[in-house]
Structure 1
Amino acid sequence: MAKVAFIGLGVMGFPMAGHLVTKGGHEVTVYNRTAAKAQAWAEKFGGRAAPTPAEAAAGQDFVMACVGNDDDLRAVTTGADGAFGAMSRGAIFVDHTTASAEVARELDAAASKAGFHFIDAPVSGGQAGAENGVLTVMCGGRPEDFAKAEPVIGAYARMCKLLGPAGSGQLTKMVNQICIAGLVEGLSEGIHFAKKAGLDVNAVIDTISKGAAQSWQMENRHKTMNDGKYDFGFAVEWMRKDLSICLAEARRNGASLPVTALVDTFYAEVEKMGGRRWDTSSLLARLER
């Protein structure tokens, strides 16, 4: 059992922190910007709610975070009443936010200077993966820190892997999002084409999903896409945030991402249709306007 803090109780963080108690058996303290949500979590799982990130982090072995973006992450770490000001020497901060590799390296340097450790550990698997405790976690950091953190992360992960030094987890998450963007657009165009051709979409997918075209998106989203249902899952506005990180990093490292850039403009069109909070599979809706 470890003493763990969890900062950020959104659709991902709330169940992830819960698994630390129910599956991991850890002593957990939580912080959330909306205090009522932290209190609701504490009442449900029997942990403790803290009024600031600093108070949540004080005396903990591990501090996990899952917030919105680079600025949110800086606010709860190095900002006023941030966790970094209260962390114990030798403790480990694990960041599950999807953020830039740049901020990961920045916080790793700040942590090292203060005498504790940092791992960037963005996740994939969505809300369902968080609720079921089967996330994929992509990590960047030092091997010795990862070895200590991996059993704790295992409370909500099916796959957890160290990919390299600080920032490597975020870079790997960018690869993940680049791949998903192209897959969802291809699936959307395939379903759109099948409809125009007068085919039974479900029968088509049942057939081709057993071959080389198979993907998680095909298996898990084709039925709702065919029914025009998008009010769930990973939101378009979140995907655009992630793709903006990918495209900014590509400008820095010289990678060419023409499909990713194009799909981002398609998501911008979906937002103009009122789909900011629709699932990312709503690219089909753009084709069926």
Structure 2
Amino acid sequence: MDTHIGIIGGSGIYQMDGLEDARWVDVESPWGTPSDQILTGRLEGVNMSFLPRHGRGHVHSPTDVPYRANIDALKRLGVTDVISVSACGSFREEMAPGDFVVVDQFIDRTFARQKSFFGSGCVAHVGFAHPTCPRLSSACVDAARAADVTVHEGGTYLAMEGPQFSTLAESRMYRDQWGAHVIGMTNMPEAKLAREAELCYASVAMVTDFDCWHPDHDEVDVAQVIATLTGNGDKAKRMVAGLPARLGTDRTPCPHGCDRALDMAIMTAPEKRDPALLGKLDAVARRVL
């Protein structure tokens, strides 16, 4: 199998430089219309695809991002490894604006989003104790360091619904009582859906601010966030440019089993499965269905 890297770019990341044979393509999905067309091409001989999470021009709010359509579309294109690049706030002094955090855990506080490809007619339960792929995360850490980016390996991402930022009470609770490291609005249910689609997933959270817990930052300053986003976007592009050399062209089975997440997950008896739902799962679960 060939490696095919999929980049889901968040706030401040709307394009990817250096792609050979680059073209924007439409991908139809039974789960709706993806956020945007997908930019496909090759970087140093490795297949790469880029999807602007919010759409070019930032037209989708965090709640309204078509997460299922996005993951399904990447799967249909043959993507094997998904790297989320997104803006976040920090709960830790040492994780300062401009730093990257390669996340390894999540706390999901979202409540208004469709979080699974499965449901009535085909029930499935995938394991999610370790929600990111260590192999893919390690490649992101190495690529970021090689690009002279200050990067922190590991951290817990608190996914909030938004679109408003946190209250001071919430920010203090997430930091002091729940032990979260960063906060954002978009990695859930994205990471859960990637696991259901048997795609390796890594999350690179780019710190833009200290949220409102910090005594020197009473509230999130959107102007400062946007200014930091610009610098983070340049760093992210340098990091992405280093990924092909670290992941290679030949994709071997994931040593952590991300690409076999559905092996024992589907619970519904074959004769009880809904044909209409099975038709929608033709890309996500093609290996087991």
TM-score by length of 2: 0.31
Question: Which structure's residues are more often helix, by fraction?
Answer: 1
Question: Which structure's residues are more often strand, by fraction?
Answer: 2
TM-score by length of 1: 0.31
Q: Point out which structure has higher relative CO (alpha carbons under 8 A, 6+ apart).
A: 2
